């Protein structure tokens, strides 16, 4: 293991500090576990097979460093691990020493702010694309690390239009983007599962969401072909299908021509439910505008509700519980029902009828409406 010191090229020290603060919020208490690394290595072997044997890999924005170690364990000859956060480099260096890992060169750097002459067989960009302001530029820089006639680039990105996008964007509107210190104070209101998500979703300087078409076009602009979509790590471990709540994209791109991806519809809840949640959330945010303490409690409650009931295989429970949380907020200290947009008002009135023991008619394409019809709700 070695640490390469190069100029980071940051034009704004404030942004460099902000990235490092975000990294500390994410990884300060993280430690690498041998069994977890073994699982990661099995996943990489599943994805890349023999192409990993003796390969040189770039792990861009390595974070806690688990994938870098897993690549070495899966057969990569050398790993170049790059991260913009100085504290990540320090933490990962200590973990490599503790685990006795070699063959990893660590670099503190940001490819959006500096040129690089690194050349590798495979680029792993697993957790960064959705956290940069210019994804096109980053994909271009990463693609330039591959030989002109071969090489692989694995991209991971958040799915636009997902339920997760609504939850995160609503909470980020309710509370300012948090420093690590501010988040530690806020996190005392969060359940463990909500806290583990919020440390990323509420402290990251940037979050972007992408459709499969946007990502495919992005790869093509950089001279790459999308070869396939891969299942995610959790699906690999548990054999679970993609959850409609999130369903992030895992795209393997390369220089080699590939057939078009299947035109599969995205996995997500019905549009009617997403619209109801969005309308109710927007109304509550507007109603509490100018009251930061109320908005902070709202964001904490939404995260606790959503991530505490979330099932990796099915988003239905999360959709219903998110709606009931918003309904409680509206009834407790929110805008009058008559001021809500027509779709949200209709669903709220149906829910209140259900609370009185009445059985409203179910909507044909609505998880919320079907739940109101099947079961009397309690607030």
Q: Give 58-96 as a DSSP string.
A: EEES-TT-HHHHHHHHTT-SEEEEEES-HHHHHHHHHHH
pLDDT at 262: 63
Instruction: For the chain, list residues with pLDDT below 70.
Output: 1-14, 239-242, 260-265, 361-364
49: left (phi > 0), else alpha (psi -120 to 50), else beta?
Answer: left
Does 193 map to a domain? no
pLDDT at 374: 85
- CA nearest to 158, candidates 133, 130, 138, 125: 130
d(C-alpha 369, C-alpha 166), whole Å: 19
Q: Are residues 240 and 300 in the same domain?
A: no
Boundaries of domain holding 344? 271-374
Q: Are residues 217 and 310 in the same domain?
A: no
Q: Are residues 237 and 341 in the same domain?
A: no
Could you give phi then psi for residue 104, rounded to 5 degrees?
A: -120, 120
Does 69 map to a domain? yes
Does 192 map to a domain? no
Q: Are residues 153 and 87 in the same domain?
A: yes
Q: Are residues 237 and 343 in the same domain?
A: no
pLDDT at 243: 76
Q: Are residues 140 and 285 in the same domain?
A: no
Domain boundary residue among 198, 221, 254?
254
Beta pairing class for 122-125 and 152-157: parallel
Does 149 map to a domain? yes
The predicted-structure confidence for 174-222, as pLDDT tens digits, reads as follows 999 888 999 999 999 999 999 999 999 999 999 999 999 999 999 999 9
pLDDT at 52: 95
Report field, pTM of the whole predicted structure over 0.75: yes
pLDDT at 258: 76
pLDDT at 77: 96
pLDDT at 335: 97
Report the sign of the C-alpha dihedral through residues 237, 239, 240, 242, in that order: positive
pLDDT at 271: 92
Helix (H, G, I), strand (E, B) or coil at 105: strand
Q: How many domains does the chain have?
A: 2
Q: Are residues 15 and 100 in the same domain?
A: yes
Instruction: Write down the H helix ranges in the chain.
Output: 13-27, 34-48, 66-73, 86-99, 135-143, 163-174, 180-186, 192-201, 212-221, 233-238, 271-287, 292-309, 316-333, 342-355, 367-374
Token representation of residue 377: 């709700």
pLDDT at 240: 60
pLDDT at 12: 44
Q: Are residues 82 and 39 in the same domain?
A: yes
d(C-alpha 88, C-alpha 92), whole Å: 6
| CATH code for the domain of 101 | 3.40.50.150
Does 202 map to a domain? no
Q: Are residues 31 and 60 in the same domain?
A: yes
Q: Are residues 313 and 250 in the same domain?
A: no
Domain boundary residue among 191, 225, 254?
254
Q: Are residues 240 and 364 in the same domain?
A: no
pLDDT at 5: 37
The predicted-structure confidence for 107-147, as pLDDT tens digits, reads as follows 999 999 888 889 999 999 998 999 999 999 999 999 999 99
Does 72 map to a domain? yes
Token representation of residue 302: 């939404």
Beta pairing class for 249-254 and 152-157: antiparallel
pLDDT at 18: 86
Q: Are residues 55 and 130 in the same domain?
A: yes
């Amino acid at each position: 293991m070695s640490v390469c010191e190069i100029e980071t090229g940051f034009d704004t020290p404030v942004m460099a500090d902000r990235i490092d603060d975000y990294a500390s919020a994410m990884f300060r208490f993280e430690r690498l576990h041998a069994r977890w690394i073994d699982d990661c290595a099995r996943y990489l072997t599943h994805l890349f097979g023999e192409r990993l044997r003796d390969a040189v890999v770039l792990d861009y924005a390595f974070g806690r460093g688990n994938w870098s170690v897993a690549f070495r364990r899966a057969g990569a000859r050398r790993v170049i691990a790059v991260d913009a956060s100085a504290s990540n480099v320090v933490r990962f260096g200590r973990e490599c020493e503790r685990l006795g890992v070699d063959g990893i060169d660590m670099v503190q750097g940001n490819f959006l702010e500096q040129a690089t002459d690194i050349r590798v067989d495979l680029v792993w960009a697993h957790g960064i694309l959705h956290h940069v302001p210019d994804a096109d530029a980053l994909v271009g820089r990463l693609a330039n690390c591959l030989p002109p006639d071969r090489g692989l680039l694995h991209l991971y990105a958040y799915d636009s239009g997902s339920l997760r996008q609504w939850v995160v964007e609503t909470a980020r509107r309710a509370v300012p983007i948090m420093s690590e210190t501010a988040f530690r104070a806020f996190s005392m209101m969060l359940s463990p599962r909500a806290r583990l998500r919020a440390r990323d979703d509420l402290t990251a300087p940037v979050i972007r969401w992408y459709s499969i078409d946007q990502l495919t076009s992005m790869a093509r602009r950089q001279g790459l072909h999308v070869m396939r979509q891969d299942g995610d790590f959790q699906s690999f471990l548990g054999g679970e299908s993609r959850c409609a709540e999130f369903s992030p994209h895992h795209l393997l791109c390369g220089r080699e021509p590939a057939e078009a991806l299947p035109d599969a519809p995205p996995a997500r809840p019905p549009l009617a439910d997403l619209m109801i949640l969005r309308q109710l959330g927007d109304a509550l945010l507007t109603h509490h505008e100018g009251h930061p303490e109320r908005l902070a409690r709202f964001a904490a409650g939404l995260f606790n509700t959503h991530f505490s009931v979330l099932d990796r295989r099915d988003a239905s429970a999360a959709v219903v519980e998110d709606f009931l949380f918003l309904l409680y907020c509206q009834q407790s200290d929110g805008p009058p029902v008559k001021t809500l947009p027509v779709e949200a008002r209709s669903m709220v009135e149906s829910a209140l009828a259900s609370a009185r023991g009445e059985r409203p008619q179910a909507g044909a394409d609505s998880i919320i409406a079907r739940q109101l019809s099947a079961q009397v709700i309690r607030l």
